[in-house]
Amino acid sequence: MELSKLFKSVIDQDTAPVVICDINHTVVYMNPAAVSYYNVDITNKNIKDCHNAESNEKIDRVVAWFAESGDNNIIYTSRNDKRNKDVYMVALRDESGRLIGYYEKHEFRNREESPLYAPIGG
């Protein structure tokens, strides 16, 4: 099986929103959870068009930090107490370590309430 199909399936099955951008800030992919969460599909649009000037400055700062070193790969960007989640930006790199994009990672901190080995969602 083609590896890219496996990776896409991993992202598509994630229940947390995943928005993947290239180095030019173009949204190249939103998983179904992201489309549902944001209630819009902005694939092929610039992510910075959806943010205010202060947020765009922060995005630029993080991407510049990613570009400084191959060791700079994840940064904590926000906490949402109401949704009990932390949000990170994560660098995407090619095989040589060159920065090729980034994505937003949501980590929900609620304890899982489903029984062990019970289907989730459904």
pLDDT computed for residue 118 by the predictor: 75
111 in a structural domain: no
CATH number for position 78: 3.30.450.20
- pLDDT, one tens digit per residue, over 27-41 is 999 999 999 999 999
Beta carbons within 10 angstroms of residue 57's beta carbon: 12
The percentage of residues in the chain with a pLDDT greater than 70, rounded to a whole number, is 98
- pLDDT, one tens digit per residue, over 65-90 is 999 999 999 999 999 999 899 999 99
Strands (E), the chain: 18-22, 27-30, 74-80, 85-93, 99-108
Calculate the average pLDDT of the chain. 93
Domain limits at 54? 16-103
| Distance in angstroms (rounded) separating the CA atoms of residues 14 and 47 | 21
2 in a structural domain: no
If one counts the domains in the chain, the total is: 1
